Amino acid sequence: MSLSIPPLRYQRHYAAEVTTGLRGKFAINYVVAMCFLDGKLELGTFTDEKVNQPKVQEALGKVSVICDDKIPEPGPYCPVSVDLKDGKHFTFTATIAKGHPQNPMTESEVEEKFLGNAKRALTSRHAEDLAALVRDLESVENVGRLTERLTPA
């Protein structure tokens, strides 16, 4: 698959090698590879362990980043083009980021993101209980129940 980006973004966001989670956060080829491999990005996407998995490095090697000076800079979004082995070609340009008021996340997307992040610090049970409490916040009579769930077990 190939991805075209303008020169300044190419300089800032392309990395021939990605061997750390921190570098992966800023390498567009890694981010694109992980979107295709996992279908989403989360905190666990950007760990040294994840970056160095053989299947991740293989996927990373399949992303070709092309520096294209015809794409205007600055601009909030770049067109993404994907060429598949079977000859199919897809192009898409997002104009409004997911999570923006004009393109909001659904409640289930917000909860999934919260749980993915919270479970890195809390037990699964505490994270899920906390999500349930927040979902029904108007009926919570004692906020102490909320703060209890914020403490790792």
Check: pTM over 0.85? Answer yes or no: no
For 78-128, what is each residue's pLDDT tens digit?
777 777 789 898 888 877 888 899 999 999 999 999 998 898 888 888 899
Q: What is the mean pLDDT of residues 19-46?
A: 93
- Confidence grade of residue 75 (pLDDT, cut at 50, 70, 90): low
Domain boundaries of the chain, sorted by first residue: 2-92, 107-149
CATH architecture of 2-92: 2-Layer Sandwich (3.30)
Distance from C-alpha of 151 to C-alpha of 153, rounded to nearest angstrom: 6
Average pLDDT, the chain: 88
For 15-29, what is each residue's pLDDT tens digit?
999 999 999 999 999
Closest CA to 36 of 77, 96, 85: 85
Q: Please, how many CA atoms are within 13 Å of residue 131, restricted to the half-sphere of its CB?
A: 20
Distance from C-alpha of 21 to C-alpha of 85, rounded to nearest angstrom: 28
Q: What is the mean pLDDT of residues 127-135?
A: 90
